[in-house]
C-alpha cells in the first residue's frame, strides 16, 4: 500500500502543465475533452479510494454522481435556487442519502456490498427515467443555466476547464493528505483486516461510513459541475456504461496509488476520442455500448498482463531509477 506524498516538484509540474495547456493548444477541442477528463478523474479517484484503500467494494459512485447532477440541475432549471447554491444543496442531499443508505449497506462485505450498490445503480436510473414530470424522464433534463457565482457567469470550455481541474486536483490533494493522516491510516487498516482494526480501537462502522459519505459528496459536486458544463442530463448518462468506464480508468491507472485513476481517466477519455475520430467510418453507430467493447477488452488485457496498471509500472520505474542513481552516486 503506497500513499507516499509525491514530490512537491511533481505537483508544481502538473499544475503548471495544466495551466499552460489551454494557451498552447489551438481551438477549444482539447480543452473540452480535458474538462471531461477532470470530472471523470474526480469520480474515479473517489471510487478507487473506496475500493482499494478502504476495501469497500462499493459501486455507488455513478449513482451519487447522477444524483448530484440531477438535484443541482433541477433546482437551477426550475429557478428555485441559483446554481452555486444548488451545488451545495445537492451535496447536502447526497450526503444525507449516502448516510442513510450507507449505515445499513456498509455492514455487507465483498460481493454482497457490490451487488447491493449495483442494484442501487439501476434503481436510481429507472426511477429518474420514470418520474418524468420532475426529471424530464428518458429525454433528459433540459434548460439548465450555466454556472454563475456572484454575478460572474462561467461561459465556454476554458472557464469550466479551470474550475473542473481545480476541483479535481483539490480532491486529489485532499486524499493525499487524508491518507497520510490518522484517519487515513485507520481507513487503510480496514482494508487489511477489520478485526485487527477494531482491536486497536478503530470504530470500524463509523470509519467506513465517513469515507463512504466523503466520496459520495465529492462525486455529487463533480456531478453538479458536470451538469452545469453540459447544461443537459439524461438518466442513461449515469448508468451501467459509466460504471464500466470507471472500472476501466481504475484498472488502467492502477488503484494502489491515489493518482492512478487520474492517469487512467486521461488515457481512457483520449482513447475514446481516438476511437470516435478514427473508427467513425468503419462502425456505423458509436454509442456508449460500442465504446464498452473496447474498454472491456482493455480491462481484461490489463488485469491479465499488467495487474498493477500504469501507476504501478511508473512506480516500479521510479524505484528502479532511484536505485540506479543511488548506486552510481
Partner 1 sequence: MTLLSETVQYAISGITAGSIYAVIGICWSAVYLITKVLNFTTGEFVMLGGMLTWAFHSMGFGLLPSVLFAVTCTIAISMLLERLVIRPIRFPTEMTYMMLTIASASVIKGLVLLQWGSESRRIEPFFGTAVIHVLGAGVTPQVLCVVAMMALITLGLHLFLNHTLFGTALRASAINQTGAKLVGIDIGRFRLFCFGLAGGLGAVTGIVTAPITFTGYEIGLLTGLKGLVAAIAGGWSMTGTVAAALALGLLEGFGAGFVSSGLKDVFALLVMILFLILQTISLPGMRRR
Q: Tell me which residues touch partner 1 (CB under 8 A).
A: 51, 57, 104-105, 107-108, 110-112, 114-116, 118-120, 122-123, 126-127, 130, 240-241, 243-244, 247-248, 251, 283, 285, 287, 289-293, 295-297, 299-300, 303-304, 307
Q: Which residue's CB is nearer to partner 1, number 45 or number 105?
A: 105
Q: Which residue's CB is nearer to partner 1, number 147 or number 244?
A: 244
Angle at 63 between CA 62 and CA 64, to 5 degrees: 95
Q: Which residue's CB is nearer to partner 1, number 122 or number 320?
A: 122
CB of 162 to partner 1, least distance (A): 33
Q: Which residue's CB is nearer to partner 1, number 157 or number 315?
A: 315
**How many CA atoms does the CB half-sphere of 144 hold within 13 Å?**
29
User: If we measure between CA atoms, which residue out of 175, 182, 206 comes closest to residue 52?
Assistant: 175
Angle at 40 between CA 240 and CA 61, to 5 degrees: 50
Write the DSSP string, 67-98: HHHHHHHHHHHTTSS-HHHHHHHHHHHHHHHH
State the helix-helix crossing angle for 29-48 and 156-179, rounded to 10 degrees.
20
CB of 14 to partner 1, least distance (A): 27
CA distance 273 to 277: 6
Write the DSSP string, 175-217: HHHHHTSHHHHHHHHHHH-HHHHHHTT--HHHHHHHHHHHHHH
The residue with cell 521510479 is 318
Q: Which residue's CB is nearer to partner 1, number 157 or number 308?
A: 308
User: If we measure between CA atoms, which residue out of 85, 35, 69, 44 comes closest to residue 234?
Assistant: 69
Q: Largest Cα–Cα distance of the chain, in whole Å? A: 70
CB of 314 to partner 1, least distance (A): 19
CB of 85 to partner 1, least distance (A): 31
CA distance 140 to 121: 17
**Is residue 29 within 8 Å of residue 183, measured between CB atoms?**
no
Q: Which residue's CB is nearer to partner 1, number 169 or number 243?
A: 243
CA distance 117 to 56: 11
Q: Which residue's CB is nearer to partner 1, number 76 or number 124?
A: 124
CA distance 100 to 205: 13
CB of 209 to partner 1, least distance (A): 14
**Is residue 217 within 8 Å of residue 91, measured between CB atoms?**
yes
CB of 202 to partner 1, least distance (A): 19
Q: Which residue's CB is nearer to partner 1, number 161 or number 238?
A: 238
**3-class secondary-structure state, position 258:** coil
CB of 127 to partner 1, least distance (A): 7
CB of 287 to partner 1, least distance (A): 8
CB of 231 to partner 1, least distance (A): 27
Q: Which residue's CB is nearer to partner 1, number 88 or number 279?
A: 279
Amino acid at each position: 500500500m503506497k500513499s507516499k506524498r509525491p514530490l512537491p516538484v511533481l505537483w508544481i509540474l502538473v499544475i503548471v502543465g495544466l495551466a499552460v495547456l489551454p494557451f498552447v493548444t489551438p481551438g477549444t477541442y482539447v480543452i473540452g475533452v480535458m474538462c471531461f477528463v477532470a470530472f471523470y478523474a474526480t469520480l474515479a479517484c473517489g471510487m478507487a479510494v473506496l475500493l482499494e484503500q478502504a476495501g469497500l467494494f462499493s459501486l455507488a459512485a455513478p449513482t451519487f454522481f447522477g444524483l448530484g447532477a440531477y438535484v443541482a440541475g433541477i433546482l437551477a432549471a426550475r429557478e428555485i435556487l441559483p446554481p452555486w447554491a444548488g451545488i451545495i444543496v445537492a451535496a447536502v442531499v447526497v450526503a444525507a442519502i449516502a448516510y442513510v443508505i450507507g449505515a445499513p449497506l456498509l455492514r455487507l462485505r465483498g460481493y454482497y456490498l457490490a451487488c447491493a450498490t449495483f442494484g442501487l445503480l439501476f434503481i436510481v436510473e429507472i426511477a429518474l427515467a420514470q418520474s418524468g414530470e420532475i426529471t424530464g424522464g428518458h429525454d433528459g433534463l433540459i434548460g439548465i443555466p450555466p454556472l454563475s457565482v456572484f454575478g460572474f457567469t462561467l461561459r465556454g470550455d476554458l472557464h469550466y476547464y479551470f474550475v473542473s481541474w481545480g476541483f479535481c486536483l483539490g480532491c486529489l490533494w485532499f486524499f493525499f493528505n487524508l491518507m497520510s493522516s490518522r484517519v487515513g491510516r485507520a481507513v487503510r487498516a480496514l482494508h487489511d483486516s477489520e478485526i485487527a482494526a477494531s482491536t486497536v480501537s478503530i470504530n470500524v462502522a463509523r470509519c467506513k461510513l465517513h469515507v463512504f459519505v466523503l466520496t459520495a459528496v465529492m462525486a455529487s459536486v463533480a456531478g453538479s459541475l458536470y451538469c452545469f458544463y453540459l447544461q443537459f442530463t439524461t438518466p442513461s448518462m449515469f448508468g451501467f456504461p459509466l460504471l464500466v468506464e470507471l472500472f476501466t480508468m481504475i484498472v488502467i491507472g492502477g488503484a494502489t496509488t491515489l493518482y492512478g485513476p487520474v492517469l487512467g481517466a486521461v488515457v481512457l477519455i483520449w482513447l475514446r476520442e481516438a476511437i470516435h475520430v478514427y473508427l467513425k467510418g468503419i462502425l456505423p453507430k458509436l454509442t456508449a455500448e460500442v465504446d464498452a467493447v473496447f474498454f472491456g477488452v482493455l480491462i481484461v488485457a490489463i488485469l491479465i498482463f499488467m495487474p498493477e496498471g500504469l501507476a504501478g509500472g511508473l512506480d516500479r520505474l521510479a524505484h528502479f531509477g532511484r536505485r540506479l542513481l543511488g548506486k552510481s552516486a
